[in-house]
Amino acid sequence: MWTPCGMARMRPHSSLKQEFLKEWIKGLQRCSFPKKSILERKKAIKLSADIAMASARNGTTCWSRALISSAARDGSDNNHLVKQILGPESDRPAMENKAPAREASVCKKILKRSCRIRRRGRRKCGAAAAAPSSIAKHLVKKRRQILRSLIPGGEFMNEICLIEETLDYITSLRVQVDVMRSLATASVRGTE
Amino acid sequence: MESNAGTTEPRSNLTASDGAQVTALESLHFTDEIHRLISAPVTDSSTSFMALLELPPPQAVELLHSSDSPKLLATSSPNVEDFKGSFHFPSNTGLIERDARFSGEANNSNGKRNSPEPKDLSANPEKAVKSEPAETESSQPLVSDPALEKRSIKRKDRENKVKGSTKKSKTAANESSEDAEKLPYVHVRARRGQATDSHSLAERARREKINARMKLLQELVPGCNKISGTALVLDEIINHAQSLQQQVEFLSMRLAAVNPRIDVNLDSILTSESGSLMDSNLPSLVMPVMWPEVQGNGHRQQYLHQWHVDALHQPVWGREEVCNNYITPENSLLTYDSSTNSETLHANQLKMEL
């Protein structure tokens, strides 16, 4: 997931913003704005923003690939929107490549779940964990699961990957929020 | 309406030329904003933290801990002090290269160190960032450098562990198959009285990796520095991520309410985005479209009065969906560090809601 060639991936912060903005505007333009309801517009905006954020990473991170592939999965509600947004871009092959990986990770997920169930049964049978360390571990595990559910594609990662993806995801979210907020404030200021 | 000409966006380099635009000022402001964002040069300060955020975590681990080494040494986290030796946790090549470089620097800079692992070195992160290409050569002295710095380690033990850890690195590599480690072997030193068999070594290496990245996360999320304990830190991180996601939702709702239709000649904009100002290009490129239903939208009216502030200080929002304390965009990442109070306040609010 994390390609070790980190030198090429370093980029200044503002260029990340610019890239995100570029992709986002492209996506916004591509999807025909349904002027029906505000919810639909909001969905379109958020979706294009998410996809823009994910594609700004160019498939180097797991969460970005998971985000795009989950958005483009056949049968999802936003499928048409996503197809519009992505358009003829090169994200398509990236998504298709993820399919076999997804199956593998689904198998992993099933395995993990079965292990978890077995472990849970054992724990319940035994005496209640009196040692504070085990309680702490239990708490930490719970929180790790929550984190997994937060990050797109998080269920398929091991712990190390999870933390790395969290780092990247939070950074990207920040960029996204910054850009969107400045646009929103600009629009507000313009209407005063 | 023309107040936008005197916008307080520090990032903007455009002059107030948009004030000269007579027609469709509102949408012009909107598109102006887009152009500003696109054409904004790299004015972000090149502090260590900002540079950090662009790096993937493995590299950022080095820089981060090097930049925070004064903090680390001052606070003297218990983990660090317990180590009698040094740890070089298995990682990808970026870490190892950086490690080699920092090992060399550690000899010069700080004499008193508990553990010369990468995170304690006080190398200049800027220099580290720029001299990345130079580190490929320094991967060679990796083996010899740790030897110089160890104080309390016997040679035999080290060699044994090196031999032992050859296998461990492979198992570690198999464990974290996604990490794609390319190291031949790994320097892992055991503490006094700890088991040195293969499994515990690998597990310890893995734990060190996780701890290092957790530290990074702690630095990233505001307000996590003072918290000790993994569960609470994870709590903060989760809250932060959730709040960011909610902000995205809310902002997209706001933008949807505004409903701009941007007919912008994107190609010319994007080609000219590379660092150049776009004063003269603006009138020709943009075909602004006034967006409808702005005034009539009751959803936004409530927030209009709250946004009548200069861009430097944004107030706490009235609570509809999200309760946040916003900081000015261009310095947001820097001030996330400094304004930990506001962020913890927001996090506490989120906790109550959750």
What pLDDT digit, counting tens, does each position of A5-59 carry? 333 333 446 777 777 777 777 776 666 655 666 677 777 777 777 777 777 776 6
**Nearest chain A alpha carbon to B311:** A185
Q: Nearest 5°: CA angle at B307, between B302 and B309? A: 150
Compute the mean pLDDT over every residue in chain B, rounded to the nearest whole number: 52
Give yes or no for B79 touching A (CB within 8 A).
Answer: no
Q: pLDDT tens-digit profile of B84-97?
A: 444 444 444 444 44
Residues 6+ apart with CB under 8 A from B164: B196, B198, B201
Higher pLDDT, B104 or B233: B233
Helix or strand run (H / E) with residue B316:
strand B313-316
pTM of the model: 0.49
- The most confident of the ranges A129-133, B57-61, B76-80 is A129-133
The confidence score (pLDDT) of residue A191 equals 63
Check if the beta carbon of residue B185 is closer than 8 Å to that of residue B162.
yes
Q: From the CA of B350, how many Å to the nearest CA of chain A?
A: 15
What B73-78 contacts at long range (C-beta under 8 Å, 24+ apart), as own/partner pairs, is B73/B110, B73/B120
The confidence score (pLDDT) of residue A74 equals 56
Best residue in A1, A3, A11, A13 for a mutation probing chain B (most B CBs within 10 Å): A13
How confident is residue B243, by pLDDT bands cut at 50, 70 and 90?
Answer: very high
> Hey, are the CB atoms on A42 and B252 less than 8 Å from each other?
yes
Chain B residues with CB inside 8 Å of A33's CB?
A: 259, 261
Helix or strand run (H / E) with residue A164:
helix A159-190
Give residue B319's identity as a one-letter amino acid code. Answer: R
Q: How many CB pairs under 8 A join A and B?
A: 253
**Nearest chain B alpha carbon to A53:** B248
Chain B residues with CB inside 8 Å of A1's CB?
A: 178-179
3-state secondary structure of B136: helix
Residue B55 has pLDDT above 70, yes or no: no
Chain B window 300-319: which residues touch A at a Cβ cutoff of 8 Å? 300, 303-304, 307-308, 311, 314
Give yes or no for B173 touching A (CB within 8 A).
Answer: no
* Cα torsion angle, B54, B55, B56, B57, sign: negative
Q: Hunting for tokens 């492979």 — which residue is that?
A: B170
Q: From the CA of A178, how many Å to the nearest CA of chain B?
A: 5
Chain B residues with CB inside 8 Å of A10's CB?
A: 51, 54-55, 59, 129, 132
The residues spanned by each domain of chain A are 13-98+171-185, 101-128
> Hey, are the CB atoms on A160 and B57 less than 8 Å from each other?
no
- The most confident of the ranges A106-115, B122-131, B282-291 is A106-115
Residue among A14, A33, A164 whose CB faces B40 most closely: A14
Question: Which whole number is the average pLDDT over A136-147?
Answer: 87
Question: Beta partners for B313?
Answer: B327
Question: Which whole number is the average pLDDT over A139-145?
Answer: 87
List, in sequence order, the alpha helices (H) in chain B.
Answer: 25-39, 48-54, 57-67, 69-75, 78-82, 93-108, 125-130, 144-149, 155-175, 198-220, 230-258, 266-271, 281-285, 298-304, 332-338, 340-353
- The most confident of the ranges A66-70, B190-194, B218-222 is B218-222
Check if the beta carbon of residue B12 is closer than 8 Å to that of residue A177.
no
Give residue A83's identity as a one-letter amino acid code. Answer: K
Higher pLDDT, B181 or A130: A130
Chain A residues with CB inside 8 Å of B182's CB?
A: 4
Residue among B213, B264, B329 whose CB faces A164 most closely: B213
Q: From the CA of B308, how many Å to the nearest CA of chain A?
A: 8
Longest dimension (CA), chain A: 66
The confidence score (pLDDT) of residue B341 equals 42
End-to-end CA distance of chain A: 47
3-state secondary structure of B264: strand
- B28 by Cβ neighbours in 10 Å (0-12 / 13-18 / 19+) ranks as buried
3-state secondary structure of B307: helix
How confident is residue B141, by pLDDT bands cut at 50, 70 and 90?
Answer: very low
- ipTM (interface pTM): 0.74
> Hey, are the CB atoms on A169 and B28 less than 8 Å from each other?
no
3-state secondary structure of A4: coil
How confident is residue A148, by pLDDT bands cut at 50, 70 and 90?
Answer: confident
The confidence score (pLDDT) of residue A70 equals 73
Residue A66 has pLDDT above 70, yes or no: yes
